[in-house]
Structure formats: C-alpha cells, structure tokens
Amino acid sequence: MQKVYHTFKPFYQKDSEILILGTMPSVKSRELGFYYMHPQNRFWKILEKIFNENIGSSIEDKKEFLTKHKIALWDVVQSCEINKSSDSSIKNVEANDIMWLIKNSNIKKIYVTGKKAQELYNKYILKDTNIEANLLYSPSPANCAISFEKIVENYQVINTYK
C-alpha cells in the first residue's frame, strides 16, 4: 500500500454538463498526467464508439473531444492509500471537492465509472451535491468479465442524455 495524491486538475469547461468520475487515476494515468491513459483501458474506445468519432491519441485530442461534448472528468478521491492501481485496495480516503466543480460549471448529470467510485461518491460526496450518480461499468482492463459491447451499451446513456 502506498499513500497517493491526485496530481492533476479536473478537466472541465464552464459549459460542461456531464461529469464522469472515476476513483483515483491509475499509475499510468498519474505518470502521463491525464485520465484513463493506460493503453488497455477501454474508456476512450468506448466514447469513440458511442459518439461515432475518432478521438485521437494525444491528450489535446482528448480534451478537444471532451470540450465539444461538454463532458468533464475528475475523480472522487483526492488522496488515499492504494496498492498500485487496484480500486479494491483503496483505504483512508480524502475526497475531492466535487461541489466546487458543480458550482463552477453547468453540470447537470453525474456518472461514476465502477462500483468503487459509486460507493465512495455515495459515502463522501452525495450529501453535498444531492445529485445521484449514475453507475457505468468500469472501463479498466481489470474488468475483463464484461464484454466491450456490453460496456458500450451501458455508456450509451451519456450520448442520449442531451
């Protein structure tokens, strides 16, 4: 177990309407400084599929896509003890100030990527926001029990929100 801190800011615009929250960035994402950057994480491939667009591989390409679709990204956890990138090992959580983000944007809908993110959101954040977070399947490569097609189907709700 290692004490880790969220090392990069939320990605959002003032007109962001959708907020997608994970738990804590993976080791690879922390290394590269942006969300869902492990090459085997399915997050960006899922968004490409549901929006029928090629996002590109650079962080700037990803930011441009998110801006276009009014999607904000952040994580529930500001700091915690964690074993590598394992959500199930997360302990001693300090939550991010999600209310700050909501006040500084146009967030209307919140989604969480995985059961651990939902559990932590409900425990630490829901009481402040009073916005129920909708559960999405985890796009992590560790969640290989759920097929890509089933995860894409689950994420369609993001594209149909507007």
What is the pLDDT, as a whole number, of residue 39? 87
Pick from 124, 1, 16: which is nearest to 73 by CA? 16
What pLDDT is recorded for position 162? 54
14, 105 Cβ separation under 8 angstroms: yes
What strand order describes the sheet that includes 91-95? 2-5, 77-82, 91-95
Alpha carbons 142 and 45: distance in angstroms, whole number: 16
Quote the CA–CA distance of 46 and 58 in Å, as a whole number.
Answer: 16
Active site residue 41: yes
Q: One of 41, 52, 54, 83 is an active-site residue; which one? A: 41
Number of domains in the chain: 1
Please, what are the averages of pLDDT over each run of 10 residues along the chain (162 residues)?
Answer: 91 97 90 92 95 95 97 96 83 95 96 95 96 94 84 91 56
- pTM, 2 dp: 0.94
- pLDDT score, position 161: 58
Matching residue, tokens 């402040």:
128
Instruction: Give the structural domain span for 66.
Output: 2-161
Kindly report the CATH number assigned to the domain that includes residue 150: 3.40.470.10
